Amino acid sequence: MDDLPLQKIQISGPTLASLLQRFSSSPGDVDGLLFGRVTHIAATTFADDDPTTTVAASSSFDSPTLIATITSFICSNSNSTFYDSAGRLNLLSLRRICSDNQTLSLLGWFSGRRKTPLRPSMRESAVTSSLSSKIQFAFQVENSPKSYTLSPCVFLLLTTPFHDQLIHTHEYRAYQFRLSTEFFEPKTLDVVNIGPAFRGHYGAFCPNSQFPMLPCELRVSSSMAEDGNCESESLKSMKRVSEDQRVLDMYAEDFDVGRLNRLIGSDAANYTGELEDMYKKMLAKLEGLARLVEKSSARVLEQENHNMKLRCRVAGLE
């Protein structure tokens, strides 16, 4: 039974979400077992003499790249389901659970507790040490050139923050227990949600329902229906854009692109006056619009004062 380091630990997004849901919906602390597989990733390097060929790295056999993938779990609604208060394992219960999951390897276990520090406790350390030392639960590493075997050494700790938060509601951390040093090594927990690596976590599926038929009818507003006008809103918007373009063209008449190009160069002095006249007309139009807005605002204020006097007269305040 080897004590090799894991590069990282993978888990799919739905599996992690299901685990967090079981933890959050339980009345108290929970624990359970983690199942999955450990895969050996062959490291390759390119040869200097021929870039089209690759050779296996010599160091890959001494320190292989191992990735643990959590694919399923078994959770109870309480803790101490397969061990006692001293951390001693219940081997009969463990053998029965592992016999029901023969296709997957027992990677380790997890513990969920609320509002506690995110570090393993002494009891969790004793349980993990006992689980890692059992030879009968050792499993084979997939794609291993030297037939590596590992013991259940993965430990996943779940907890909640000390203070209630609206967004941040859960914390988790993955560890590998090294039996040789009796030490928990923190490992990267890779949540696989997208990319080519996610396909092995989900499998094939078919949609349960088809997309509904989308209506493509042309709707008419009530005001248009009253006037008997059947033009669509899109046509009205096109007309508004056309009217605005006509007004702009009126102000910029006789100043097409060809004439504006002549404003650059030696003939620019002859057309500067015409361009200034065009801007003066535009400014005069803006000034006229500003005066109309000022007059209309004064009329609105006058009408509001008149309405206020009428309300006071009706209320008998005058």
Q: 181-233: per-residue pLDDT in tens?
A: 889 999 999 988 755 555 555 555 555 545 555 555 545 444 444 444 545 55
The structural domains of the chain, with segments of one domain joined by +, span 8-201, 237-314
Question: pTM for this structure?
Answer: 0.56
242: left (phi over 0), alpha (psi -120 to 50) or beta: alpha
Provide CATH code, domain 8-201. Answer: 3.40.140.10
Strand order in the sheet with 154-159: 183-187, 171-178, 154-159, 105-113, 30-41, 65-75, 8-12, 189-192
pLDDT for the residue 152: 93
Q: Assign 182 to helix, strand or coil.
A: coil
Tell me the pLDDT tens digit for each residue of 248-300.
Answer: 566 556 555 566 566 666 666 666 777 777 778 888 888 888 888 888 888 99
Q: Which amino acid is at 310?
A: L
